[in-house]
């Protein structure tokens, strides 16, 4: 029991000595206290009193602002953690004399670098005074001035005879498409013959698109771009006979920026191709509506094919007008062809 009591007494004595040393360490000599106040706070200088291990014994208000914490809470914290590891290097050099240099500051929300001076101001207890003056943050270099993009090339003026040429080519193309359809009905078997007919019909659709492009190119010359009501233009085109096909239309005013002649000719060809792709008695749903920065025309039918020629014709004719063509396959309901034309800004909306 006496041995155990002696061990406990020694442990308690050691803890008491450590506590007294800690209190003495935190208690600064009276002569050193005015040093923190002598640092010119108006210049933004942060002042720290450090022990040999780099632990902060005291700090001024500027040091608290630099660390982002009240200065009273900095006592006992590691200076290298709050202000960067470069400060501990200067403190080691201060044992041989005043040390100065530029250090990189740690943490966010503070300048990246600071001028620092560390001086040994007390031998008992050993304390160093560190003064930090943050450097102003460097301004990022100005962004280079980008040259404006070159103006788009002007569209070549259509020849006056292009419309007549396309009108002359359309009847034989229509007869060839009818003959291909009749020939398919006569075929009973033979995968190779069906493949050849598929290629023939695809070539005919491509030719129809090119003929429509000729008509669109000859419809009007350059400089005719203006604000148009896409719904009114489609309504006018749907008023023409479409054959044995039912049209279900939902047209909401949507202003597009385009050449009226070319757009009219292109939409006429697209609507004609969509109607001819349907069997007799088929139904074609046509809708127009504004959507974001586009005026959107949608064609949908259970008989339209997702890989059919309507989308190819639309891309060939409306692509030069800035049109974007998308095709969606709806299981059990055919396909939907969506044509998005660039819309006019609100400030430019005027009666067409």
- Rounded to a whole number of angstroms, the CA Rg of the chain reads 42
- The pLDDT profile of the chain, 352 residues, written as one tens digit per residue, is 454 444 344 344 444 334 333 434 445 566 666 666 666 665 668 888 888 888 988 888 888 888 888 888 888 888 888 888 888 888 888 888 888 888 888 765 455 788 888 888 877 778 888 888 888 766 667 766 666 666 655 544 444 455 556 666 777 777 777 777 777 777 766 677 777 878 887 887 777 777 666 666 555 444 467 888 999 999 998 887 766 788 888 999 998 888 888 888 888 888 888 888 788 778 888 999 998 888 999 988 877 766 567 888 888 777 777 788 888 887 767 788 888 988 866 544 444 3
Q: Please give the angle made by the CA atoms of 331, 334 and 335, to the nearest 5 degrees.
A: 100
Q: For residue 296, how far is the Cα from the chain centroid?
A: 23
User: What's the token pair of residue 149?
Assistant: 């993009």
User: What's the token pair of residue 284?
Assistant: 């074609």
Residues in the chain: 352
Distance CA 177, CA 160 (A): 28
Angle between helices 191-219 and 309-318 (to 10 degrees): 30
Peptide bond into 125 cis (omega under 30): yes
């Amino acid at each position: 029991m006496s041995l155990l009591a002696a061990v406990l007494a020694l442990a308690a004595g050691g803890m008491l000595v450590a506590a007294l040393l800690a209190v003495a360490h935190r208690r600064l000599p009276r002569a050193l206290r005015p040093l923190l106040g002598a640092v010119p706070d108006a210049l933004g200088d942060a002042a720290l009193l450090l022990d040999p291990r780099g632990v902060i014994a005291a700090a001024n208000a500027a040091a608290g602002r630099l660390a982002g914490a009240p200065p009273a809470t900095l006592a006992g914290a590691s200076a290298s953690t709050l202000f960067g590891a470069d400060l501990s290097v200067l403190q080691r050099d201060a044992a041989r004399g005043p040390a100065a240099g530029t250090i990189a500051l740690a943490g966010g929300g503070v300048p990246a670098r600071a001028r620092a001076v560390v001086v040994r101001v007390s031998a008992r207890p050993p304390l160093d005074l560190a003064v930090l003056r943050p450097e102003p943050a460097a301004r990022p270099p100005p962004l280079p001035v980008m040259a404006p993009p070159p103006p788009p090339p002007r569209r070549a003026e259509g020849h006056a005879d292009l419309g007549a040429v396309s009108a002359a080519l359309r009847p034989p193309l229509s007869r060839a498409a009818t003959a291909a359809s009749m020939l398919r009905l006569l075929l009973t078997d033979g995968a190779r013959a069906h493949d050849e007919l598929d290629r023939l019909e695809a070539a005919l659709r491509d030719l129809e698109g090119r003929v429509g492009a000729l008509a669109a190119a000859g419809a009007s010359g350059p400089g005719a771009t203006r604000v148009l009501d896409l719904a009114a233009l489609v309504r006018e085109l749907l008023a023409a006979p479409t054959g044995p096909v039912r049209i279900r239309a939902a047209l909401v005013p949507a202003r597009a920026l385009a050449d009226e002649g070319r757009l009219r000719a292109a939409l006429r060809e697209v609507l004609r191709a969509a109607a001819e792709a349907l069997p007799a008695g088929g139904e074609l749903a046509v809708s127009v509506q504004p959507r974001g920065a586009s005026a959107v025309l949608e064609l949908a039918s259970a008989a339209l094919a997702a890989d059919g020629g309507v989308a190819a014709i639309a891309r060939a004719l409306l692509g030069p007008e800035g049109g974007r063509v998308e095709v969606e396959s709806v299981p059990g309901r055919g396909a939907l062809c969506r044509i998005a034309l660039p819309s006019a800004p609100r400030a430019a909306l005027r009666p067409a």
